[in-house]
Amino acid sequence: MRYGYFDNEHREYVIDRVDTPVSWTNYIGTKDMCGVVNQTAGGYLFSGSSEYHRITRFRPNGVPMDFPGHYVYLRDEADGDFWSVSWQPVSKPLDQAKYVCRHGLSYSKYLCDYRGIHAEQTLFVAEDDPVEIWDVVIRNDSNRVRNLSAFSYCEFSFHQIDMDNRNFQMSLYAAGSRYADGIIEHDLYYEEDGYQFFTSNFEPDGYDCLRDAFIGAYHTERNPVAVERGVCSGSAELGGNHCGSLQKRITLQPGESVRLIFLLGEGGVESGKVMRQRYANAAAVDEQFEKLRLFWDKKLEKLQIQTPNDGMNALINIWTLYQSEINVIFSRFSSFIEVGGRTGLGYRDTAQDAMCVPHSNPDKCRQRIVELLRAETRAGYGLHLFEPRWFEPEQKQQSFRSPTVIPTPDRASIVHGIKDACSDDALWLVVSVAQYIKETGDFAFADERITYADGGEESVYDHLRRILNFSAEQVGQNGICKGLRADWNDCLNLGGGESTMVSFLHYWALDHFVPLAEKLGRSEDATYYRAMAEHVKDVCERVLWDGSWYIRGITADNRKIGTHTDAEGKVHLESNAWAVLSGVASKERGEQALRAIQEYLYTPYGIILNAPPYTKPDDGIGFVTRVYPGLKENGAIFSHPNPWAWGAACALGDGKAAMTFYDALCPYHQNDKIEVRQSEPYVYCQFVVGKAHTAFGRARHPFMTGSAGWSYYAATEYILGIKPDYDCLSVDPCIPADWKEFSVTRVWRGVTYDIHVTNPNGVTCGVKRILLNGAPVAQIPQLSAGARCRVEVELG
């Protein structure tokens, strides 16, 4: 069953059945202001932080689903019938009204046809101003004159999620609203920058600033009294709950249309005046929309592919890059699932996100890397979850203190001890830095001086050394890295026990660090860390091999987990994928590990994290044994580690396995299986329910997942094999033998490489020759910026 289709030409996903089983979301905004919206215009807006600076309200986990939102109601003045431009909130029966939603890159468009009126509402954030634009077009497709009223509606929030949900005896009286000259102002009395405005490019015929006056007692967003009776009440007050509702009466001749612009922005009435003026003419709105299109053009053109796999083309060229960028820009805590109760940066998540898109967003990746380095301790571990502003050199101080906000943490409580450190967190960052330098050629970054969370400062390079040294020191009784609070798997809590995955990660990080040290002329370090890597490899190969696959770890009381004798948690994906991906496993063992993944973990919807799932609590292993079988970390198809297996298959030259794995998880291929998948098919979800559960195949938690960056990285660098290096661009694909050819346009350091790969002998890997503008070369060099060149690669 399908609910929509990919419109690749317009870079949109078109939902033509809007009653999707769960919310299908999108993100608007490309800088600080961000909206999370679904296919029925439900959702919320925030600026900077979804925890501390929420502009509009959302009722998470609520009934009805995904309310409220940024809505426009239409009312036929002839008989009082009313509906909304997005299907919700009024929810007219879908056999009477036609609704479509087009989710595009940083905008969503809602289209509606009902009783001869066509209406559209486009939501996006201006590129140049902190303002959300609601671009509304209403057209009379009937053959009679129509008198209509349009009403906007959004519900303001008390900014801080905690304030918004508790202590109402205080917070209810700290928010106020007022109206003058077409502008609604909303403010929070206890915040200096607690102002928003809601305005339009027309003279309103009515307004309501008070939510309860607009909606009415015992009514809901489905049937607000103001819309029912056809007139707003002109409400505003200091104290209470507030909304942005402006009413406009319109008369449309047959065929005539009108365009109304609503503006929801940061700042008080003075900002509202400026914006009202700036966007008075809809041409200014068109200009911002065009800028948004160019913003994405510039990113997407950095890497475009044309392969025999349509799903891969649509995802890599549009959606997976988009999803990866959203993660880097807004971090991982703002969705309909994480609804602002957490904010800041997760250490490992951000490090991996920043590792994957330095080509399309070098500045943001660099910023994230710097924020992470500042949150590293001198001991060499990262703070698992932190607010970048804690460590910014310039701290903005509020001139007065509000009575009921969350206490401001002091340094001592911010810098957690090793007992709360995750063993993998900072290791990822070594590779993020290497990737950033390979992409940009910015070697000077390695020497930049950066502070530590617990004081002192050193170069980026020395920060990385401390990370590698930490993992070398933090080993358990078998010489494998300790599991500490958790490794990548939050629910595997081995403490003083040992984590296979982290030792593999340690090796991988060392393997990336050594060439960097060499490039920077630090040959002593290169020798030292190469020896460290060899030692790690030896210990891993000695301790972690179980006979047919690699174990997952060792508990503090020295029990091996993930062995052939285990009835539960026998085979794990992370350890076996990383054994190969890291470069530790010999070819022979690597192939056996891949076979174990295929035999025990592969399903048609992707690869399961561990099998069979745990059913008996075992606190030596961790919380994973208390998670329901088939969900999340206990035997679900956790999406993020899936691309590790694609990479592992490629490292072994098995292009068929890599593509089979890719296709299984690929949401594009599930477009017509929504009765199973339920979630949106244009983005990866955090996990897909595993075999052991009754809802096998159901996907959950879209957008905010490391599978975005990692699937992009694994598909482009391993399967298609386009890897920037310190001073050359390497092309070394691993593809299915029946791919005859594929093309990639890659912009690297200002040069456009038009790469065409041919596979005349039907191999899966191995480069026979490379031609650069027709001449044979051993490797593809960096050319002068601005150049465009042709690269022909023949496999065989």
Interface residue list for ligand GLC (CB under 6 A): 346, 348-349, 488-491, 633, 686
Angle between the N-to-C axes of helices 573-581 and 587-596, in degrees from 0 to 180, rounded to the nearest 10:
150
Identify how many contiguous H helices and E strands the chain contains and give both numbers.
Answer: 21, 44
Residue 58 or residue 488: which is nearer to ligand GLC going by CB?
488
Q: Report the nearest approach of ligand GLC to the CB of residue 438 (Å).
A: 24
Residue 122 to residue 134: CA distance in whole angstroms: 6
Phi then psi dihedrals of residue 56, to 5 deg: -115, 160
Which residues make Cβ contacts (< 8 Å) with residue 45, sequence separation at least 6?
33, 34, 35, 54, 55, 56, 70, 132, 154, 264
Give the per-residue SS3 of 229-278. HCCCCCECCECCCEEEEEEEEEEECCCCEEEEEEEEEECCHHHHHHHHHH
Residue 493 to residue 664: CA distance in whole angstroms: 29
Closest listed residue to residue 262, CA positions, set 106, 104, 121: 121
Q: Report the nearest approach of ligand GLC to the CB of residue 623 (Å).
A: 10
Q: Report the nearest approach of ligand GLC to the CB of residue 655 (Å).
A: 28
Residue 428 or residue 753: which is nearer to ligand GLC going by CB?
428
Q: Which amino acid is at 574?
A: E
Q: Report the nearest approach of ligand GLC to the CB of residue 640 (Å).
A: 6
Q: Report the nearest approach of ligand GLC to the CB of residue 346 (Å).
A: 5
Residue 492 or residue 783: which is nearer to ligand GLC going by CB?
492
Residue 247 or residue 686: which is nearer to ligand GLC going by CB?
686
User: What Rg, from alpha-carbon coordinates, does the chain have?
Assistant: 27
Q: Report the nearest approach of ligand GLC to the CB of residue 633 (Å).
A: 5
Residue 173 to residue 186: CA distance in whole angstroms: 13
Phi and psi based region of residue 391 (left: phi greater than 0; alpha: psi -120 to 50; beta: remaining): alpha
Q: Report the nearest approach of ligand GLC to the CB of residue 687 (Å).
A: 8
Which residues make Cβ contacts (< 8 Å) with residue 350, sequence separation at least 6?
328, 331, 332, 368, 371, 372
Residue 296 or residue 488: which is nearer to ligand GLC going by CB?
488
Q: How many CA atoms lie within 13 A of 131 on its CB side?
A: 29
Residue 358 or residue 382: which is nearer to ligand GLC going by CB?
382
Residue 496 to residue 485: CA distance in whole angstroms: 9
Q: Report the nearest approach of ligand GLC to the CB of residue 368 (Å).
A: 15
Residue 16 or residue 490: which is nearer to ligand GLC going by CB?
490
Query: Of the residues 113, 205, 462, 490, which is catalytic?
Result: 490
Residue 192 to residue 577: CA distance in whole angstroms: 50
Residue 254 to residue 116: CA distance in whole angstroms: 9
CA–CA distances in Å: residue 61 to residues 5, 21, 335, 558: 27, 15, 12, 42
Residue 423 to residue 470: CA distance in whole angstroms: 9
Task: Give catalytic status of residue 490 as yes or no.
Answer: yes
Token code pair at residue 326: 């959203």
Q: Report the nearest approach of ligand GLC to the CB of residue 614 (Å).
A: 14
Residue nearest to ligand GLC (CB): 490
Residue 188 or residue 430: which is nearer to ligand GLC going by CB?
430
Residue 90 to residue 17: CA distance in whole angstroms: 16
Residue 305 or residue 345: which is nearer to ligand GLC going by CB?
345
E-strand stretches of 141-241 = 146-153, 156-159, 175-180, 183-188, 195-200, 206-210
Q: Catalytic site residues?
A: 490
